[in-house]
Structure 1
Amino acid sequence: MINFRAKLILSLFILIAAVLAALGIWLGQMFKSYYLATINDRLERETSLLASAVEDWGGTEAINPVVLDEWSEQMDTRLSVADNNGDLLYDSGGTDEEENAVHRDIAHRISETLNEKNYQTSLMRKMDVQYHWTPILTKTGEQEGYVIVSMRVDALDEIYGQIWAILLTSLGLSLLLIILIGTKITTRYVKPIESAAMVAIELAKGNYRARTYETPPDEMGMLSTSINILARNLQEMMQAQEVHQNRLTTLIENIESGLLLIDDRGYIVMANRSFKKMYSTGRIIKKRYYEVITQEDVIKIVEDVFMTEKNVRRQIKMTFGLEEKDIEVSGAPIIGTNDEWKGILVVYHDITEIKHLEQMRKDFVANVSHELKTPITSIKGFSETLLDGALNDPDAAKMFLEIIWKESGRMERLVADLLDLSKIEQKGLTLNLTAVPLKKLLSEVIVTLESRLEAKDIALQMNVSDHLVIQGDEYRLKQVFVNLITNAILYTPKGGQIFVDASESDQMVNVKVSDTGIGIEKAELPRIFERFYRVDKARSRDSGGTGLGLAIVKHIMEAHHGKINVESKLNEGTTFTVSFIKNLRNDFTKD
Structure 2
Amino acid sequence: MKDFRQPKLLIVDDKQENTELITKLLHPLDFEVLQATSCKQTLDLCEQIEFELVLLDVRMPVNSFETCHKIKSSKKNQETPVIFLAEKTDFENISEAFKHSCRDIILKPFQAEELLSKVTIHTLIQQQQKQLNQLIETRNQIYSLIAHDLRNPFNALIGLSDLILKDLNDSDPHKQNVKLINGISNQTLNLLDELLSYSRNIQTGQIASSQKILAKQIIEEAINTISCSAALKKITITFSCEPEVKISGDRNILLSAIRNLLSNAIKFTRINGHIAIDTKATNDCLEIAISDNGIGMDETTINNLFNLKNRVSLKGTAGEAGTGFGLILTKELINLHQGEIEVNSKLNEGSTFTLKLPIQESN
Q: Same fold (TM over 0.5)?
A: no
**Of the two structures, which has the highest relative contact order with CA contacts closer than 8 Å and spacing of 6 or more?**
2
TM-score by structure 2 length? 0.44
With the length of structure 1 as denominator, give the TM-score of the two structures. 0.28
Give the number of the structure whose alpha-carbon radius of gyration is greater. 1
